[in-house]
Amino acid sequence: MRVFFFLLCSFIVLNSFALNLSTEWTMVSRKMIHVSCEEDETVCQNFCQGHMACMTEEKVCKNCVGTSIAMTYAFQEMGRSIVAGDQLDPYFLFDFLSQKNYVTLTSRSVYNLVDSFDSMSLRRKFRSLCQDGTRYPMVFFNKTEGGEFGRAQAIWCDSGVFQVEYLSSPQSTEVEVF
């Protein structure tokens, strides 16, 4: 009986986050994030100004296309050194989206010049971030004041938004002069 109760509670917790995110590039090279809400997700509906779905534009990132140290680290260490931590409140994600100072990465990211586009190995890396079988997890990175690629801040999975933990620190992009 206890096992049944535990499984029932786990199912309710895992399916209580009612938000779906996906990205799309428009014909005029604008990256859009589609936000879809469930009926009981008032935080999401507030973000979408009372609607059940909306889109928000992800501004251009200055150094995202390429094989910089930061981009290479992000794609190579996804799911290995960059992992999901504690679950965050949904308000975190909507506040983060409202600031419009972020970059998102998925296994289908056009910014990926490090690995094959949406390869099975890259998909496995991203999918390992979520414990709920999310097909295309989305990782949110902040942008620096100069509009460049920053540090990972959050991971969106079907079951919620999670804090990012770095198991090893990203390599510095600064060059020491002797």
Residue 63's pLDDT is what? 84
pLDDT, one tens digit per residue, over 52-75 is 999 999 998 888 888 889 999 999
Q: Which residues contact 74 (CB under 8 A, 6 or more apart)?
A: 82, 105, 139, 141, 149, 152
DSSP 112: B
Domain limits, the chain:
2-166
Rounded Cα gap, residues 89 and 140, in angstroms: 15
Rounded Cα gap, residues 55 and 60, in angstroms: 16
104-116 in b/e form (b: 16+ CB < 10 A) is bbbbebebbebbe
Rounded Cα gap, residues 70 and 143, in angstroms: 12
Residue 66's pLDDT is what? 83
pLDDT, one tens digit per residue, over 145-169 is 888 899 999 999 999 999 999 998 7
Q: What sign for the dihedral angle of Cα 131, 61, 146, 47?
A: negative
